Amino acid sequence: MKSSEIRQKYLQFFQSKGHTLVPSASLVPGNDPTLLFTNSGMVQFKDVFTGRETRPYKRATSAQRCVRAGGKHNDLENVGYTARHHTFFEMLGNFSFGDYFKRDAIHFAWELLTKVYGLPHEKLWITVYHEDDEAWGIWANEVGVPAERIIRIGDNKGARYASDNFWQMADTGPCGPCSEIFYDHGPDVAGGPPGSPDEDGDRYIEIWNLVFMQFDRDADGNLTPLPRPCVDTGMGLERVSAVLQGVHSNYEIDLFQHLIAAAARETGVQDLGNNSLKVIADHIRACSFLIVDGVIPGNEGRGYVLRRIIRRALRHGYKLGQTRPFFHRLVADLVGEMGEAYPELAAMAERVTQVLRQEEERFGETLENGMRILDAALEALPKGEPLDGSTLFTLYDTYGFPVDLTADICRERQVEVDLDGFDRNMEKQRQQARAAGKFKLAEGLSYAGVDTVFHGYDTLQAEGKVTALYVGG
Ligand code: ATP
Ligand code: MG
Ligand code: MG
Ligand code: MG
């Protein structure tokens, strides 16, 4: 089954169950200026869940384009390292606004997976929140999942991807337990079942998160049952496509195989299994769709995230030996894969190509020299030492290497980076600039990208400038 068919079947199934088809919202959230990017299907319905907004329907379904490359959900560092994470992906979802609750949500999910998609039920594993006996009972007694494949998940045990199966929109407001569905890719892949010490592996892959918004949390942390509980679910299209196409990695699905082949064509690489091709294929989607939604490369905020993703892609191209602009040429291939589902992409292809090309030309001037500096520094580095802050800063300041880009290259070579040292260099430069009176720009403008660069969005979140929804685990 092609991914386009899988998307179609999902939306049709939920429409047949009385859900209204709602188009994907923009990656730039229209209803929340503090959220960096739309990172799940529920974002456009946030106010509907809280009751601040009403819609003419109580059930909705959507295929939502999502980006997780900043804020609370940042999967940028996972791309190229796990089989299941992208910066850009599509989330299929069904939503109940005070209409059906746990029972229907669970039965719908099971019917779709086992009847419509035809998945063998013994490959499916379930997690529920440890106190959620109701959900456990529905899975065990009504659906008939054997008890040993229904796992109660308590508090986060510190594993990198561990989920605590309790969802909340923010510190206060709607919240509730989740139930997640995992697919067992079999003993050939390393990793333990959800909740086990080695759940970080890629054997048991989470495909679907069912969130049961059941409580309202007040400022003191008290939970009051919501008069009309809601349901919010999210299933990654690429992950379920991998399952249905009988492959383990998202990067082996039809859509990605075509993009990877295109990246290979543009970089002259023969080996389609090359990891850099995967990263480039991932990044062309994120970058193109961000530009479609009005983000342009820049030095702060969303624009800086976009610039960082583009530069990472170009660096991977460089690693493959491509020193000339190539990335923008993949836009046409992406349109071939996704233009039908997203006509706005097809309509804006020319503009996207142009923006990317410009950014490629700009960075192309310094990428090669910067790489030479970095290679020399790494060569001279004593074993076990981190890359020093002064080199990080020079690369950032003179060669346009965002610090996460340098860190990513270092990670490939098992070298740590001295981020504190980078901070100190940055502060020194800021003070010198201030003393020289050079940077008398308006507040928020003066070199604004800088803070964003190395503290990442977590700092912005801490400062209350950017908050992100906590979605799922
Ligand atoms: P994981 O634990 O694997 O990082 P998650 O718990 O963060 O996933 P949710 O927030 O529950 O994911 O999102 C709902 C669904 O969206 C997931 O079950 C998965 O199918 C999909 N999904 C989440 N993050 C990504 C990603 N970075 N790339 C592709 N699909 C994703
Ligand atoms: Mg995650
Ligand atoms: Mg989850
Ligand atoms: Mg998870």
State the ligand closest to the CA atom of 40.
Answer: 1
pLDDT value at 466 more than 60: no
pLDDT band at residue 460, thresholds of 50, 70 and 90? very low
Among protein residues, the one whose CA lies closest to atom 9 of ligand 1: 472
Task: Find the range with the poorest average confidence among 161-170, 193-202, 339-348.
Answer: 161-170
Which residues on adjacent β-strands are paired with residue 30?
none
Among protein residues, the one whose CA lies closest to atom 10 of ligand 1: 472
Among protein residues, the one whose CA lies closest to atom 25 of ligand 1: 85
- Asked if 166 and 129 touch (Cβ cutoff 8 Å), the reply is yes
pLDDT band at residue 311, thresholds of 50, 70 and 90? very high
Q: Ligand 4 centre and the CA of 86: distance in Å? A: 14
pLDDT band at residue 34, thresholds of 50, 70 and 90? confident
| Nearest atom in ligand 1 to 239's CA | 20
Residue 439 has what pLDDT? 53
Model confidence pLDDT, tens digit, residues 170-211: 888 889 999 999 999 999 999 999 888 888 788 999 999 999
Q: Which of 10, 84, 232 has the most ligand 1 atoms within 8 A of CB, as the residue to mutate?
A: 84
| Nearest atom in ligand 1 to 91's CA | 16
Is the pLDDT higher at 122 or at 31? 122
Among protein residues, the one whose CA lies closest to atom 31 of ligand 1: 236
Indicate left, alpha or beta for 416 from its phi (over 0: left) and psi (-120 to 50: alpha). beta
pLDDT band at residue 461, thresholds of 50, 70 and 90? very low
Among protein residues, the one whose CA lies closest to atom 14 of ligand 1: 234
Q: Ligand 1 centre and the CA of 117: distance in Å? A: 20
Indicate left, alpha or beta for 444 from its phi (over 0: left) and psi (-120 to 50: alpha). left
Mean pLDDT, to the nearest integer, of 407-417?
Answer: 96
Which residues does a 6 A CB cutoff place in the pocket of ligand 1? Answer: 40, 68, 75, 84-86, 89, 91, 161, 163, 206-209, 234-236, 238-239, 471-473
pLDDT value at 400 more than 50: yes
Mean pLDDT, to the nearest integer, of 141-159?
Answer: 83
Residue 155 has what pLDDT? 57
Predicted TM-score (pTM) of this structure: 0.90
| Nearest atom in ligand 1 to 86's CA | 28
Q: Ligand 3 centre and the CA of 186: distance in Å? A: 20
pLDDT band at residue 457, thresholds of 50, 70 and 90? very low
Residue 120 has what pLDDT? 97
Q: Ligand 2 centre and the CA of 42: distance in Å? A: 15
Model confidence pLDDT, tens digit, residues 212-270: 999 999 999 899 999 899 999 999 999 999 999 999 999 999 999 999 999 999 999 99
